[in-house]
Amino acid sequence: MKELKKEESDRLVAWYRLNRRILPFRDTKDPYDVWISEIMLQQTRIEAVVSYFLRFKKELPDVDALAEIDEDRLLRLWEGLGYYSRARNLKKCAQILKEEHGSRIPEDHETLLKLPGIGPYTAGAIMAIGFGRPYPAVDGNVLRVLARDLGITEDIRSDTVRKQLETLVSSFYEKEKIEDKQYISDLTQALMELGALVCIPNGKPLCEDCPLRENCYAYANALTDQIPYRSRNKERKIVERTLLIIRKDDDFLLDKRPAKGLLAGMYEFPGVDQKMTETEIAESLKQEGFDILQIEKLPSSRHIFSHVEWHMDAYEIRIANETIPLKAGQILAGREQLKKLALPSAFRTYIDHYALREGEHL
């Protein structure tokens, strides 16, 4: 395997400075911006993150604001990005930063790694982009670029390959004795940007536009369709669900999910992991004490998580009860309260159906 070379990195940095996208969290010189944006960008396209980042930063401009925000409001700001544990870890981390680090993000790699939600990649990105320190930040884009450039044929999903490339990048910084903070920041972002714009994940890479083409192993050997090798994900489990959207006038019954697991601690429309008929629903709810006025079938929907796929049938159940038989963890929420709660994007079809975010057509 060939090594990284300074002339290649120089070309890459020059390319980046001419072709980089203008992004609200780029070039701010603020490690807080790097931290927040990198957490948002996990499992999420950069185009989708921009508007979320701007809204998040406007309401939570610094560590103190993030540490003090109410969790329901935090999850509402995060709504649509998914993987809500990321948002909870941001708040936990901010609280530690406020209590132990004077509300500042520490310029120390080992300290960063001890904070909630910050792993090797995020710590490296904060150090390299936020502080201009020579630490590797190897994400999926960087893995792909380096695998093609250096001729790595092993599975890029493996920890061994990732650690090998982190070591290689660290060795490059050390060997070349690079101390220019802007250069370090730009090179780190250049590898990511090249993977996003040129050495793309899906489809044919745009090799004619690549500053690394001249010495790229995959390009020279016509192997860009084979490198990188990426083992297949495990097949997602299909879960058939029935949602019971129970309404009393303009109030909706909501369940709070368990504190751990999928969508932990979030509110949702009640549901069961099985298919139910209208007759079965009516009988079940009558046994629970509901006085049913009407049951109406709503559009079915699907939602894909990383390892699970929900196939949902939904029914609106209008009830006449004067007193609602609430179980532990259940609430009856009106329109204004619903606007403040973060309902998981898994229920987007029904949030939009009832215009629970915009409009007035209930």
CATH code at position 141: 1.10.340.30
How high is the pLDDT of residue 305? 87
Both 215 and 241 in one domain: the answer is no
Both 161 and 275 in one domain: the answer is no
Q: What is the CATH number of the domain that holds 328?
A: 3.90.79.10
Helices (H), ranges, the chain: 6-19, 31-41, 46-59, 63-68, 71-78, 85-100, 109-113, 120-125, 131, 140-150, 159-176, 181-197, 217-220, 278-287, 335-340, 348-353
Nearest to 33 by CA among 122, 135, 138: 122
Give the separation between CA 295 and CA 300, rounded to whole angstroms.
15
CB atoms within 10 A of CB 263: 21
How high is the pLDDT of residue 294? 94
Helix (H, G, I), strand (E, B) or coil at 162: helix
How high is the pLDDT of residue 362? 39
Residues sharing a CB contact under 8 Å with residue 311, sequence separation 6 or more, in sequence order: 238, 239, 240, 241, 300, 302
Both 58 and 21 in one domain: the answer is yes
Count of domains forming the chain:
2
How high is the pLDDT of residue 44? 85
Residue 230 lies in a domain: no
- 314, 300 contact by CB (below 8 A): yes
Annotated active-site residue in 3, 8, 38, 193: 38
Both 308 and 176 in one domain: the answer is no
Both 187 and 284 in one domain: the answer is no
Both 123 and 260 in one domain: the answer is no
Domain limits for position 249: 237-353
Both 13 and 103 in one domain: the answer is yes
Both 51 and 99 in one domain: the answer is yes
Q: Is 322 a catalytic residue?
A: no
Single-letter amino acid, residue 14 = A
- Tokens for 44? 């999420």
Provide block-wise average pLDDT over 10 residues at a time, the chain (362 residues).
Answer: 84 96 93 97 89 96 97 88 90 97 97 96 97 95 95 92 93 91 96 96 93 94 93 87 93 89 88 94 92 94 90 95 87 83 85 63 38
Placement of tokens 């090249």 in the chain: 194
